[in-house]
Amino acid sequence: MAASGEKGVISNGSLCFCFYVWLGDYEVDEESRNRISRFVLSLSGKSKLLPTRNPRFSDPYAPSSSFSLFIWIRRCFVFLQLVRKWLEIMIGVLEMQSRVARLHEKLKKAEEELPICRAGNRAMIEKLEKEVHRAKESEKTMLESLVCQT
């Protein structure tokens, strides 16, 4: 699909460029804007350029109906970008909540195992104390036997 404009043929790539211009993502000079507007007018079947009431917010060379369509499309893109950002934030929040839940589970498990470890350590300490006591008793008996022998 190609249309001839005042300064030559405008291709499909220029149509995409036209969308970018009207979506506000690209700055163009007045001559390019005129050419693009005439191209869109030729696509819409309108032969004359329509003036606009508020040139600050609209392209003075764009037909009002198609320009409002492009404004609507831009607002949809902006809304979708906001939705995407919101979803990214919500996914991040959900990931953080799942991490916190996992950490709480680990903490709870550690708290449950802590008394068992302490009890195990107490049993080990008691066992070692008994062995030390036996060693002292055996040392004492050995010393007594040595004293008795002399």
Tell me, yes or no, whether 48 and 93 share the same domain: no
The answer to whether position 68 is within a domain reads no
Tell me, yes or no, whether 4 and 45 share the same domain: yes
Tell me, yes or no, whether 91 and 143 share the same domain: yes
Confidence (pLDDT) at 80: 92
Whether the pLDDT of residue 13 is over 80: the answer is no
How many structural domains are present in the chain? 2
- Mean pLDDT over all residues of the chain? 67
The answer to whether position 144 is within a domain reads yes
The pTM of the full predicted model, rounded to 2 decimals, is 0.34
Q: Which sign does the torsion angle of CA 65, 66, 67, 70 carry?
A: positive
The answer to whether position 71 is within a domain reads no
| Under 8 Å between Cβ of 58 and 49 | no
The answer to whether position 69 is within a domain reads no
The answer to whether position 147 is within a domain reads yes
Question: Minimal CA–CA distance to 40: which of 5, 75, 76, 77?
Answer: 5
Q: How much is the average pLDDT of 98-106?
A: 85
Enclosing domain of residue 53: 1-62
Q: How much is the average pLDDT of 105-132?
A: 78
Whether the pLDDT of residue 50 is over 60: the answer is no
